[in-house]
Structure 1
Amino acid sequence: MKKLAWAPLGAVALAITAFAPAQAADMKSVAVTAIVEHPALDAVRDGVKAALQAEGFEEGKNLKWQYQSAQGNPGTAAQIARKFVGDKPDAIVAIATPSAQAVVASTKTVPVVFSAVTDPVAAKLVPSWEPSKTNVTGVSDLLALDKQMELLKKVVPNAKRVGMVYNPGEANSAVVVKELKTLLPKMGMTLVEAAAPRSVDVSSAARSLVGKADVIYTNTDNNVVSSYEALVKVGQDSKLPLVASDTDSVARGAVAALGINYRDLGEQTGRMVARILKGEKPGDIKTEVSSKMELHVNPGAAEKQGIKLSDELVKSAAKVIQ
């Protein structure tokens, strides 16, 4: 019978101690927060996770992943930001402007990557579109408003009055309103505003546009997008067409949208996060913008809202919702 060879207890303990820190060093932590849950922002979140996995960071193996939504409440967004900062993750991903502002206000040291923020400079997340030299970088969903309005004219050729429901407190939307006030008169149109400071205000704000607007344009305002069905009901009841900048809103009842694929935006964000996990400093990474645009149309929604889309427009769409 062979004798068992026993290592000294101290040597075993030393081996365990040596292994544990190495294992811990390989584990990265990413905390993700969004101001609210709706298809576009959910697609960003899922895209971030998919890109991280493609880059070799997999939840449960070498990645600790946590996600929290503020459910549309800025106060909750601030609480989540403070909680995440206290956790000291390797990076915090903040989806949409209110969540990004809350996180950036809470830390000057933890790396922050924002996503789905239209104008990060106006939102005071970064000083310019160049590398920030701070702990913040990210990916913008900035859209060319002139192309948005060109689409609107194709959908409703005789439109003169463009209605817009938005939250005045959201920096993204305030920037769009300011730009539209300059752009629309050059195209022979005017802007009619309807404020919706809360999600529950979207329906009444939309109804206030009936008789005052020829078409409603919706940007990526989170209050509006999270309550889009309420807007669609007003559009159908009043035969007031809806043109969106969020392509996911077309499946929910918008007539058309020329916008970003938010899953792609999330993957773009995730690749940026991976660069930080691999050692790059966020302040050395320039803010990025998605250049991939898609046209989605919904002929059925158009009919319910009193118009018919041209065959040319439908044929040019990347996706037709039936």
Structure 2
Amino acid sequence: MKKLGKIALAVALGLSMTACSSGTAKKDKSDVKIGVIQYTEHPALDKAYDGFVKQMKKAGYKKSQIDFKNAQNDQSNCETIANKFVNDGDDLIYAIATPAAQAVKGKTDDIPIVISAVTDPKAAGLVQSNKKPGENVTGTSDLNPVEEQIELLQKLIPNAKKVGIMYCSSEDNSIVQAKLARKAIEKAGMEAQDFTVSETNQIQQVAESMVGKVDAVYIPTDNMLAESISSVTSVTNENNLPCIVGESNMCEGGGLATYSIDYEKLGEQAGKMAVKILNGADPATMKIQYQSTDDLQLYINRKVATQLGITIPDEYQDATDIGE
């Protein structure tokens, strides 16, 4: 009887192990479901999505396997979309921009989440550490070369003494960049002053409030302001107030200049990480990745420069032209 009991136990354990093994087996690539949540619609985030899709296709996944949703700059939409992906049992979620990533992280500790266009994942409460995420979240950061952008401001507007930092006070990514900008501005011997918005209907009024108070404006890669950059520059350029901005698409919207990362390449980086996770890698051990300084590009809106009477130094003559 004891011998039969041991045999039965061995068989039961064998079946249990088989069940566990099959439960954790890598899913067939054609059965994988990927949810994508993008916080708002503007060119930089669009490129982060395009780069991701490009990389996933390269790895053999089809676009039909990717469920893309845009939250249209509405946090309640982020919550709804995040719930949908979790309820659908998606195998991986790609979250573009900090508010989208925070919404998804709040809904699941199990589904792997790859983020992009998030300035500081740790400060946003998404990971335990940017070097050792420790949970189900990893991805790519769009941390700007803030010091270089402030240096650019000084070179293009050498007489600037007071710089306004305009950003959305409810975006963690913007708060991080504003602090870095203040530090760089003060280090450069200039005075910094914050001008914050929390809703889009405040943008024009706040932009108007900067006129006469500062000599130049710095705007980071703020989602709200990136989407509404023309509302800012329609005021600032009309009042000879140059704006150094966080990324190239904001230059196209009337910003004077920037050193910008390549958001499509950032999305490709995130896609490579997603593929590794779908192949069995643990996001908890995958450090947050940053874009190489070799991929930074200088952009100048020469039309705006002409409008503001700004002479472009010889060292910047090779910059990518925008607005001509």
- Structure 1 gap segments, 5+ residues each: 1-21
Hey, what does 1:304 align to over in structure 2? 307
1:311 positional shift: 3.5
Cα distance change of structure 1 residues 141 and 25 upon mapping to structure 2, 3 Å threshold: closer
Q: Distance in 2 between matches of 1:112 and 1:287?
A: 12
Q: How does 1:25-104 map to 2 (within 5 A)?
A: 26-60=30-64, 64-104=65-105
Matches of 1:114 and 1:199, distance apart in 2: 25
What are structure 2's unaligned runs of at least 5 residues?
A: 1-25
Contact 1:165 1:202 in 2 (8 A): no
Task: Determine which structure has the larger helix proportion and give its number.
Answer: 2
Whole-angstrom CA distance in 2 between matches of 1:311 and 1:273: 42
Alpha carbons of structure 1 residues 82 and 187: separation in structure 2 relative to 1, 3 Å: same
Could you say what the CA RMSD is over the residues aligned between the two structures, in angstroms?
A: 1.7
Q: Distance in 1 between matches of 2:78 and 2:177?
A: 23
Cα 1:321–1:233 shift into 2, 3 Å: closer
What is the TM-score of this pair, normalised by structure 2?
0.87
Q: Deviations over 1:186-216 (max 9, x none)?
A: 2111112111101222211111100011111
Identical aligned residues as a percent: 36
Counterpart pick for 1:293 among 296, 304, 322? 296
- Partner Cα separation in structure 1 for residue 29 and residue 39 of structure 2: 31
Structure 2 distance, partners of 1:114, 1:293, is 20
Q: Using the TM superposition, name which of 99-108 and 179-188 deviates more.
A: 179-188
Distance 2:302 2:321 in 1: 11
Q: Structure 2 vs 1, CA of residues 240 and 72 (structure 1 numbering), >3 Å: closer, same or farther?
A: same
Give the secondary-structure state (helix, strand or coil) at the position aligned to 2:40.
coil
Displacement of 1:29: 1.1
Q: Give 1:84 shift.
A: 1.2
> What is the CA–CA distance in structure 1 between the aligned matches of 2:321 and 2:281, rounded to whole Å?
37
Distance verdict in 2 for CA 1:211–1:83, change over 3 Å? same
Taking the aligned partners of 2:187 and 2:63, their CA distance within structure 1 comes to 51
| TM-score (norm: length of structure 1) | 0.88
How many Å apart are 1:179 and its aligned residue?
2.5
Residue pair 2:35, 2:67 contacting (<8 A) in 1 also = yes
Residues 1:127 and 2:131 are matched in the alignment = no
CA contact (8 A) 1:192 1:212 kept: no
Deviation string 1:160-209 (CA, Å, 9 cap, x unpaired) is: 11112211111011112222333322211111211110122221111110
Give, as a single letter, the amino acid of the residue that structure 2 aligns with 1:110: I
The aligned runs of 1:112-151 (5 Å cut-off) are 112-151=113-152
Q: Is the 8 A contact 2:127 2:137 kept in 1?
A: yes
Q: Which amino acid aligns with 2:168?
A: N
In 2, the alpha carbon distance for the partners of 1:321 and 1:30 equals 37
CA distance in 1, matches of 2:261, 2:158: 24
Given the superposition, is the C-alpha separation of residues 138 and 71 from structure 1 closer, same or farther in structure 2, using an over 3 Å criterion?
Answer: same
**1:117 aligned counterpart, secondary structure:** coil
